[in-house]
Amino acid sequence: MLIGELAQRAGTSTRTLRYYEQHGLIRSRRSTNGYRAFDEAELRVVHEIRALLAVGFDLDDIRPFVACLRAGHATGDVCPDSVAVLRRKLDEVDTCLARLNTVREKLDHQLNEAIAHREKSCLRRTVP
Amino acid sequence: MLIGELAQRAGTSTRTLRYYEQHGLIRSRRSTNGYRAFDEAELRVVHEIRALLAVGFDLDDIRPFVACLRAGHATGDVCPDSVAVLRRKLDEVDTCLARLNTVREKLDHQLNEAIAHREKSCLRRTVP
DNA sequence: CTAAACGTTGCCGCCGGTGTCAAGGCAAGG
DNA sequence: CCTTGCCTTGACACCGGCGGCAACGTTTAG
């Protein structure tokens, strides 16, 4: 499978695939042309990469999952390294959620204050 | 007040202040030296900027708040434009929270699945 | 006179995943 | 032969808020 086909089937661009390969996430043989030749299995790998990227993982985080797939497992998340990353990411997300909730409260408070203040000055202006 | 003093009093760097000025967030007169001379009032402005940045606003978001302060209001958030930004940001945060919660659930689920799977194979390995 | 400690402008680097263009090789059909 | 459409590598652009350096002017103190 050439890079264009893989890109199309995976719903991404050739640029992106070359980038993944450059960073060791996907693999290819080279035809005598110099063209990359991809195994069918790489399609699954690319899907895994894309799914994890979409969730907020970066390429380094994703590496263990790919390795896990290559090791023959049905899913990329069952290997110890992947689980470790999952744990870490879950922690990160929880931390982020906590911070965001704090921010949300602040914003909400500030918004209410500002509106209250505006309504007060509105009263002052309309009933002087 | 020279830029160094303002930086120190605001707890930031001269580089940062020049950046803010370049982007129209703070103002200065120029002495005959060519040195920037800042009003006391700019200190409050810088504090407002820093506080909002810390919450996750970008410089464009912050502009209305600065304008509000300059208009003579005690706080930067009471003007209509600021309120609009607050609303928008609150929405953004809510959206982000929703997405993050979804991600959290997925991660949690995936983590539990992976662990369950590992324990199964662990059993298989330890009791064959 | 000089060194230190300020100030000035301007420009590159970073981070990460891609878009995008350049300049070229290869395959296949008219 | 020419075009079309693949493919190749390499390199710049982006986004945003700075850090950091260069190269140079000013002020002050010793």
Whole-angstrom Cα distance, residue A122 to residue B6?
36
Predicted local confidence at residue A121, as pLDDT: 60
Q: Is A36 helix (H, G, I), strand (E, B) or coil?
A: strand
Percent of chain B with pLDDT over 90: 88
User: Can you tell me the mean pLDDT for B73-98?
Assistant: 95
pLDDT, tens only, B58-70: 999 999 999 999 9
Whole-angstrom Cα distance, residue B37 to residue B46?
14
pLDDT at A36 > cutoff 90:
yes
pLDDT, tens only, A6-32: 999 999 999 999 999 999 999 999 999
As given in the structure block, the two tokens for residue A28 are 């290819």
pLDDT at B122 > cutoff 90:
no
Interface of A with B in 21-50 (CB under 8 A): none
Distance from the Cα of A37 to chain B's closest Cα (Å) equals 32
Count Cβ neighbours within 10 Å for each residue of B14-23 and write b for 16 or more, e otherwise: eeebeebbee
Q: Is A37 helix (H, G, I), strand (E, B) or coil?
A: strand
Whole-angstrom Cα distance, residue B61 to residue B65?
8
Of the pLDDT bands very low, low, confident and very high (cuts 50, 70, 90), residue B124 is very low
Instruction: Please indicate if any CB of chain A lies within 8 Å of the CB of B103.
Output: yes
Distance from the Cα of B120 to chain A's closest Cα (Å) equals 11
The distance (Å) linking the CA of A30 with the C1' of C26 is: 14
Of the pLDDT bands very low, low, confident and very high (cuts 50, 70, 90), residue B100 is very high
Instruction: Please indicate if any CB of chain A lies within 8 Å of the CB of B122.
Output: no
Distance from the Cα of A11 to chain B's closest Cα (Å) equals 22
Burial class (CB in 10 A: 0-12, 13-18, 19+), A109: exposed
Q: Write the residue in B83, B93, B110 that is nearest to A114 by C-beta.
A: B83
Whole-angstrom Cα distance, residue A79 to residue B114?
8
Percent of chain B with pLDDT over 70: 91
Of the pLDDT bands very low, low, confident and very high (cuts 50, 70, 90), residue B114 is confident
Predicted local confidence at residue B90, as pLDDT: 95
Of the pLDDT bands very low, low, confident and very high (cuts 50, 70, 90), residue A116 is confident
Contacts of A104 in chain B (CB under 8 A): 90, 93-94, 97
- Please, what is the average pLDDT of chain B? 91
- The separation between CA A102 and the C-alpha centre of its own chain, rounded to angstroms, equals 24
Spatial CB neighbours of B93, under 8 Å, sequence gap ≥ 6? A100, A103, A104, A107, B56
Of the pLDDT bands very low, low, confident and very high (cuts 50, 70, 90), residue A120 is low
Judge contact between A19 and A58, C-beta under 8 A: no
Local structure of residue A30 (DSSP, 8 states): E
Specify the residue for token string 């990160």.
A92
| DSSP β-ladder status, B36-37 and B29-30 | antiparallel
- Please report the DSSP string for B7-68 in residue order: HHHHTS-HHHHHHHHHTTSS--EE-TTS-EE--THHHHHHHHHHHHHHHT--HHHHHHHHHH
The residue count for chain A:
128
pLDDT, tens only, A56-94: 999 999 999 999 999 999 999 999 999 999 999 999 999
Judge contact between B46 and B19, C-beta under 8 A: no
Spatial CB neighbours of A92, under 8 Å, sequence gap ≥ 6? none
Domains parsed from chain A with CATH numbers: 3-98 (1.10.1660.10)
Give the CA angle between residues B89, B8, B41 to the nearest 5°.
Answer: 60
pLDDT at B123 > cutoff 60:
no
Specify the residue for token string 């930004």.
B85
What is the ipTM for the molecules in this complex? 0.85
pTM for the model stands at 0.87
